[in-house]
């Protein structure tokens, strides 16, 4: 069974890249959270490191003549899937390969300067300069055992970007050592420095069709009814669908959030501001929770747009729903940059049109 749901075209692209003479050393996977970006980066890690895919040519290859031989020797000649069974494949799947490292906000690779007293920062929201120092150190060394070391930077838009450390990262992306590959993962590619973006091969990770997600869940052993519900609620993101399938209570929580969105869409400014303040307070301790609420809002307005289009809603209604969707995208971007969370969220709520009434059954049926 493939570890991936959907994204067949991207997988083919990664196969071709990994099998080429000079596989790219910096790839930017741009797409929403849980859409499959990390799974694709891990697939690339396997393609580069699978023992069976990258086995040296068998003895006796010289029978085919010198040309073929030299072709075989210059690199992985097989375009194919990683075996999934060799040691690198297994370790990568289990996320325990010593040379496949994920660098994100927290303490990973934290390397204080000599003599510096340095508190731990497991809850940090940024990838700090001490971690960038650790990364630079790591990249200078050879991998423990892999053909290619893979560093997944997630989310890349939270990477420390000032001073010499950032400059060194840029140089490394520009002229990476032959044994290290960077996979930058982000939902907000425009928040990355242009100089970083331009050094990466960019892969846009698009939503996966619902039927593919449903089939992927069934292939993982989930029953059909649950798979269908999860695929619907995940809105194109396989990772989210798997999370729902493993914890169906998350979908119930989502149903309650949906009801609240429906109620708030009928409220005026006062209620909306109170809600924005609560959401901004939550943001300080539970970013994922807030992003999840934005996601429900997005589903809510998308649903209005779809229903409106099929039921002949007024142009004003449709424009209102479109404006709301734009405001959500803007809020997401603002939250990843330096905008104050409360301001970003208040602005978003103000952009939502006020609805006369929203049937809650509609919510129940789709959430
Ligand atoms: Zn393998
Ligand atoms: Zn540190």
Kindly report the number of other CB atoms within 10 A of residue 343's CB atom.
13
Q: Which ligand is nearest to the CA of 126?
A: 2
Q: How far is the CA of 184 from the centre of ligand 2 (A)?
A: 20
240-289 pLDDT, tens digit each = 999 999 999 888 888 899 999 999 999 999 999 999 999 999 998 888 88
Q: What is the mean pLDDT of the chain?
A: 87
- Expressed in angstroms and rounded, the spacing between residue 146 Cα and the centre of ligand 1 is 12
Q: Which residues surround ligand 1, an ion (CB under 5 A)?
A: 50, 52, 82-83, 86, 89
Ligand 1 centroid to residue 206 C-alpha, Å = 27
DSSP letters along 292-326, please? HHHHHHHHHHHHHHHHHHHHT--HHHHHHHHHHHH
How much distance in Å is there from the Cα of 115 to the middle of ligand 2? 13
Cα separation of the two ends of the chain: 29
Burial class (CB in 10 A: 0-12, 13-18, 19+), 85: exposed
Ligand nearest to the CA of 83: 1
- Res. 58 pLDDT band, cuts 50 70 90: low
Instruction: For residue 50, report the distance from its CA to the centre of ligand 1, in Å.
Output: 4
Looking at the structure, tell me whether residues 43 and 186 fall in a common domain. yes
Q: Is the domain of 186 the same as that of 109? A: yes
Q: Are residues 189 and 323 in the same domain?
A: no
Compute the distance from residue 145 Cα to the ligand 1 centre, in Å.
Answer: 14
Residues 166 and 81 in one domain: yes
- In DSSP notation, 203-252 reads EE-PPPPHHHHHHHHHHTT--HHHHHHHHHHHTT-HHHHHHHHH-THHHH
More confident residue, 2 or 120: 120
- Is position 233 within any domain? no
Of all ligands present, the nearest one to the C-alpha of 80 is 1
196 & 133 share domain: yes
Q: If residue 95 lies in a helix (H) or strand (E), which one and from where to where?
A: none
Comparing 146-150, 245-249, 287-291, 349-353, which segment has the lowest mean pLDDT? 287-291
Tell me how far the alpha carbon of residue 286 lies from the centroid of ligand 2, in angstroms.
Answer: 21
Query: pTM of the entire structure?
Result: 0.79
Question: Mean pLDDT across the stretch 20-27?
Answer: 92
**Nearest Cα residue to 4 out of 32, 26, 35:** 35
Domain that residue 317 falls in: 248-366
The answer to whether residue 235 sits within a structural domain is no
User: In the chain, helix, strand, coil percent, each to 5?
Assistant: 55, 5, 35
pLDDT at 160: 78
Question: C-alpha distances in angstroms, 189 versus 31, 34, 35?
Answer: 8, 15, 15
Taking the CA of 46 as reference, the closest ligand is 1
Do 70 and 173 belong to one domain?
yes
């Amino acid at each position: 069974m493939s570890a991936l749901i959907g994204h067949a075209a991207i997988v083919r692209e990664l196969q071709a890249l990994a099998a080429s003479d000079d596989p790219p050393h910096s790839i930017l996977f741009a797409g929403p959270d849980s859409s499959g970006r990390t799974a694709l980066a891990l697939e690339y890690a396997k393609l580069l490191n699978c023992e069976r895919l990258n086995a040296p040519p068998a003895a006796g290859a010289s029978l085919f003549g010198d040309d073929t031989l030299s072709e075989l020797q210059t690199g992985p000649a097989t375009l194919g899937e990683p075996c999934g069974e060799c040691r690198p494949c297994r370790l990568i799947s289990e996320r325990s390969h010593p040379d496949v490292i994920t660098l994100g906000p927290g303490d990973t690779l934290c390397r204080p300067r000599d003599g510096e007293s340095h508190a731990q920062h497991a809850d940090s929201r940024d990838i700090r300069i001490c971690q960038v120092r650790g990364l630079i150190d790591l990249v200078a060394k050879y991998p423990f055992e892999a053909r290619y070391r893979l560093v997944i930077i997630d989310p890349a838009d939270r990477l420390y970007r000032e001073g010499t450390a950032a400059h060194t990262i840029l140089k490394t992306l520009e002229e990476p050592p032959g044994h290290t590959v960077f996979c930058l993962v982000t939902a907000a590619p425009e928040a990355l420095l242009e100089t970083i973006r331009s050094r990466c091969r960019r892969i846009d990770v698009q939503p996966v069709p619902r039927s593919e997600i449903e089939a992927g869940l069934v292939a993982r052993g989930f029953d059909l009814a649950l798979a269908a519900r999860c695929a619907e609620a995940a809105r194109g993101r396989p990772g989210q669908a798997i999370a729902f399938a493993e914890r169906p209570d998350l979908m119930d929580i989502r149903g309650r959030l949906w009801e609240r969105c429906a109620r708030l869409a009928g409220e005026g400014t006062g209620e909306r501001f109170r809600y924005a303040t609560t959401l901004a307070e939550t943001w300080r301790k539970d970013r994922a929770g807030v992003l999840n609420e934005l996601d429900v809002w997005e589903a809510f307005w998308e649903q209005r747009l779809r229903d409106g289009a099929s039921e002949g809603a007024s142009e004003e209604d449709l424009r209102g729903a479109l404006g709301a969707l734009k405001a959500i995208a803007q809020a997401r971007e603002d939250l990843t940059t330096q905008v104050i969370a409360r301001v970003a969220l208040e602005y978003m709520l103000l952009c939502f049109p006020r609805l006369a009434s929203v049937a809650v059954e509609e919510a129940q049926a789709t959430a």
